Structure formats: C-alpha cells, structure tokens
Amino acid sequence: MSKQRREKWGPHSHCEVCGRAIPEGERFCSPQCREEYESRVRKQRLIVRVIYLSLAALVLVLVFWYSMG
C-alpha cells in the first residue's frame, strides 16, 4: 500500500462479510454482518458433520458387506 494512501485512510481493516473499511482490530461493520458470518459458519459446520457421518456410515456398510460375503 502506498504511503499516500495509508496517510489518507489511516490504519484500518475490512469487514469479513462485506469488505467495508472499519476501525483496525474489529472484524465486522455491523450486527447484521456478524449474524451473516455466524450463520455461514454454522452452515459450514453442519455440512462438515454431515460429510463425516456419511463417510462413517459408508465405512460401516462396507465392513458389514465384506464380513457377510
């Protein structure tokens, strides 16, 4: 980042959801962005759990299938 740009805007970071400039050290620009972020994280965790459970079920089915054959 150029020195001129740093002097104009000062130290800042960007909202993790919408990318707006916010004071340095903060993660979100508004409660709505925080809620959106938390919702996305919950969905991602759910998807990961479903994938792991599906893989575990597949392994159990394969083990059962091979033990019967």
The domain spans of the chain are 10-68
Instruction: Tell whether the torsion through CA atoms of 54, 57, 63 and 67 is positive or negative.
Output: negative
C-alpha to C-alpha distances, 62 to 9, 49, 54, 56, nearest whole angstrom: 59, 20, 12, 10
What 3-state class would DSSP assign to 28?
Answer: coil
For 28-59, the pLDDT digits (tens) are 999 999 999 999 999 999 999 999 999 999 99
* Residue 42 tokens, joined: 């919950």
Is a pLDDT exceeding 80 seen at residue 68?
yes
Confidence band, pLDDT 50/70/90 cuts, at residue 9: confident
With residue 14 as reference, give the H or E element that holds it: strand 12-14
Is a pLDDT exceeding 60 seen at residue 1?
no
Is a pLDDT exceeding 80 seen at residue 2?
no
pTM for this model (two decimals)? 0.72
